[in-house]
Structure 1
Amino acid sequence: MKKNKFSIMMLAMLLSISVMLSGCNVINDLQVKMNLKNNEFEYIKQNKVDKIIIQSVRDSGFRFVVRDDKAIGDIYNILSKGSKVSQKSSYDPDYVFEVYTGTDVKKYNYVVGDNGHDIGNFYDDNTEFSVPKNLENTIMQNLSFIRKPREFNYIYYEAILKVIESKKDSLSNGNKVGVDIQSDTDCLKYIFSVDLEEFKKKLAKTLPNVSLVNGDQNFDTIIKVKNRGYNTTTFKTLITVENSKDKSTENYYVVAEYDYKDWNIKVSEPNKVPQNW
């Protein structure tokens, strides 16, 4: 009698577990059909992922390796919530993800910030996904050892615009002007395609004949940007204006200090090094 009772209890437990698992599968299938999640990244959950390498596209020396199981699980959770879409982002990718499972390596491109509902900001050669913004946050958490300047997007681009504004008259005089940020290696890791597009719009409003240097191009004037140090409250940038017509060079020393929710940006006179430099 006791044996029969025990068998019935075990059967009831197995039935309950089966119903629960079945319910989970139904919910999962429903979410996939509604495009609220996808099953494309189940291999990350099911297989032993050795590592995920995340490489900056602009800064070849900047890459980091994710080996921690929890961090890999966090990435999986975010990617699995991505919606399949029919088109990828028009912006250049900011990062390349390489997922290593044994001898197999899967590669994906990621555009930071461009996560509109119908835009694929995480994609490979075959499929595009619109993934949540918190993938960007997960990346930055892994970069916590890097002291990103406070309000970097504002202070970095505003310093350049202030120098251009101060020389607007001479730069507008039939010059083709290029802004070169490609050699600013200390800051390339913080420069993303979406932010660059916004910067290009502001450049066009300030000076119609200016564009970003991209590869081998001929410019009458090149404005080169080179960071000279930063922390959360101080930002220094050397901006050099090289004029190929008269072979002249001018250095502008930009010092910005954060003071009570605002940046105080000071641009030096040409070739004059400030005392606090």
Structure 2
Amino acid sequence: MKKRSLALIVIFIVIAGLFSGCSQIDAAKVKLGLKNQDFEYIKEGRVKKVVIQNSRDRGYKFVVTNPVAISELYDILSDAKPVDSKTSLDSDYIFRLEEDSDKVHEFNYVVGLDKKDGGNLYSKDKYYIVTNRIDNDILNNFTDLRTPKDFNKLYYTFIKKCIDRYREDTKNNDKSIGININDDVDVAKYIFSYDLEDFRKSLPSNVKLLKDSNDSCDVKETVITTGYKAAGYADEYKYNGIEYDSIYKSIVTFYDNNTKDTKKYYMTARYKNGWNITISDKKSSDF
């Protein structure tokens, strides 16, 4: 009996020491700026619901109420590093942390941002650098978002290829072109600010992404996705006797603000052991 009591005491001391050590480590992290105490209200159990909404597609949102998931979010946010400034990029998601008292803590979040670019999670007066754990552990686990195959590769390549085709057809090499993707609602949830920034940097000086659909430019290029199928979503797609397992379709319209001329292109990509891409100014049966 004495041996058993002694063993229990030893176990208790070891556990107490471990908890004490964790507390000391956490305190040291706070002092070093590696950990923050701004999200303790989550740890205290006051947040019962987290609403995560896509910033570009307001109809796309999901709700997290699972206590384990909310606890995981606390672990991630408490490890976020407070910084003095936020990124200049537009947010990809809005996080709303709702307390029982109807108090809401709202943060903007930019997916996959590099640390040198400033805080990628921010409210009106607080900025944090959050690791991509929030993408891998939270967003990927709780969304049904399945990005169409090679979306970034196709989407931005299509836009540039269409500009080349338009300049070749119209000989308008000197006119500035403004790219409008703000109205492309079907793929808005697949577009992220960091990818947009990379695309923006790759554009020549007389081509720009329009912040607003009505921003000034000589020629406006409007991109509207009319159909896509992510790999694994449905049965294979047959065209001209060939079965393709992925397809992406888009209509791109160029409008010259000076001459009022309009030029339209129909872009299709079909995947079967590689992409078969076509750009045509003639509307096919696909559309």
TM-score, length-scaled by structure 1: 0.86
Show the counterpart of 1:18: 16
Contact 1:148–1:231 (CA under 8 A) maintained in structure 2: no
The CA distance in 1 between the partners of 2:209 and 2:247, in whole Å, is 26
The CA distance in 1 between the partners of 2:271 and 2:85, in whole Å, is 41
The CA distance in 1 between the partners of 2:11 and 2:20, in whole Å, is 14
The CA distance in 2 between the partners of 1:164 and 1:44, in whole Å, is 49
2:80 aligned with 1:82: yes
Show the counterpart of 1:274: 284
The CA distance in 1 between the partners of 2:171 and 2:269, in whole Å, is 24
The CA distance in 2 between the partners of 1:7 and 1:248, in whole Å, is 90
Report matched runs for 1:117-266 at 5 Å.
Answer: 119-137=118-136, 138-144=138-144, 146-169=145-168, 170=170, 172-204=172-204, 208-215=205-212, 216-232=214-230, 233-260=246-273, 262-266=274-278
Give the Å deviation of 1:7.
Answer: 7.2
Contact 1:118–1:130 (CA under 8 A) maintained in structure 2: no
Per-residue CA deviation, residues 195-239 of structure 1 (Å, 9 max, x unaligned), is 1111112222xxx32222223323332111111111122111111
The CA distance in 1 between the partners of 2:141 and 2:275, in whole Å, is 25
**Which 10-residue stretch deviates more, 28-37 or 86-95?**
28-37
TM-score, length-scaled by structure 2: 0.83
The CA distance in 2 between the partners of 1:120 and 1:72, in whole Å, is 21
Show the counterpart of 2:53: 55
Report matched runs for 1:100-115 at 5 Å.
Answer: 100-102=98-100, 103-115=102-114
- Where structure 1 has 5 or more consecutive residues not aligned to the other structure, the ranges are none
Contact 1:94–1:192 (CA under 8 A) maintained in structure 2: yes
Show the counterpart of 2:242: none
Per-residue CA deviation, residues 90-128 of structure 1 (Å, 9 max, x unaligned), is 212221111011122111111112131572111223322
**Which 10-residue stretch deviates more, 9-18 or 120-129?**
9-18
* Equivalent position amino acid for 2:109 in 1: Y
Give the Å deviation of 1:132.
Answer: 0.8
Structure 1 pair 158/24, CA: closer, same or farther in 2 (3 Å)?
Answer: same
The CA distance in 2 between the partners of 1:8 and 1:167, in whole Å, is 84
Contact 1:91–1:111 (CA under 8 A) maintained in structure 2: yes
Percent sequence identity over aligned pairs = 36
Contact 1:121–1:129 (CA under 8 A) maintained in structure 2: yes
Per-residue CA deviation, residues 236-269 of structure 1 (Å, 9 max, x unaligned), is 1111112233332222111112233x4332111x
Show the counterpart of 2:239: none
Contact 1:115–1:133 (CA under 8 A) maintained in structure 2: no
